[in-house]
Amino acid sequence: MTVYYNEIDKYAAQWLRNLITAGHIAPGVVDERSIEDVRPDELAGYEQCHFFAGIAGWPLALRIARLASVPGIWTGSPPCQDNSVAAAIHGGRAGLSGARSGLAHTWLDLIAARQPQGICFENVPGISPWLAEITSRLGQLGYRVRRPERSSADVGAPHLRRRVWIVADRGGQGFPRPRRPEPPAPFCDPRAAPPGDVFIASAGRTRPLDDGLPSRVGAVHAYGNAIDPWAAAEALRSLF
């Protein structure tokens, strides 16, 4: 299987390449261009496409759900800054009209051009006022749309982390399950893990980062943008 990964952040893009080299995710092409520069014809021949790929949360979710070998699935977690609570606090909540979160429209244009069989979308709850734009567009393209409700707490995490999920399949046909189920993903199941320590800063006290730690800053940024693959795996199962 050859997979397309689109990720504009150079640090995260290299992370994806490292995961491919280590055999943790399917081999494929990591494209660092903006999604706005991607032409539909360039996506021909790829069996899966992951946009805003980050550090491979969606590919990992497919492995957890034992669906990594199923072709025809596209995923996307567009930037959330224009939908976020922080944006609302500062009076800049532009939603899908924003420069960053509005890239969801570009993603939908590629979907319209290529018509993949399955679509998976994730974003913060702040996108809710604009969800109808996405679901209506997918419906017009002939997709059956579902919105499974999953939070990290639902899959055993010690925090809530609510997210909005959209799962859609073209023509309402779903997917046939693989004849031979894939082996379980060799990753820790948070539901089986003992409770860990939680770091809580004292009230009013900040925790500044030291200078000279660019790699850690990059890693924290990548983790912060990542999806919860266990919650995503539960959403993915709605395709079948």
pLDDT along the chain (240 residues), means of 10: 95 96 95 98 97 95 88 90 62 72 92 96 86 94 90 78 90 68 53 48 45 50 72 84
Count of CB atoms situated within 10 Å of the CB of 224:
8
Query: pLDDT at position 187, please?
Result: 52
What pTM, to 2 d.p., does this model score?
Answer: 0.81
What's the CA gap between 7 and 52, in Å, rounded? 5
Query: pLDDT at position 151, please?
Result: 80
Residue with tokens 């660092």: 32
> Which two tokens mark 63?
């492995």
> Which two tokens mark 42?
């360039």
Query: pLDDT at position 206, please?
Result: 45
* Superfamily, domain 3-239: Vaccinia Virus protein VP39 (3.40.50.150)
Query: pLDDT at position 153, please?
Result: 80
Sign of CA dihedral 132, 133, 139, 144: negative
3-class DSSP assignment, residue 109 = helix
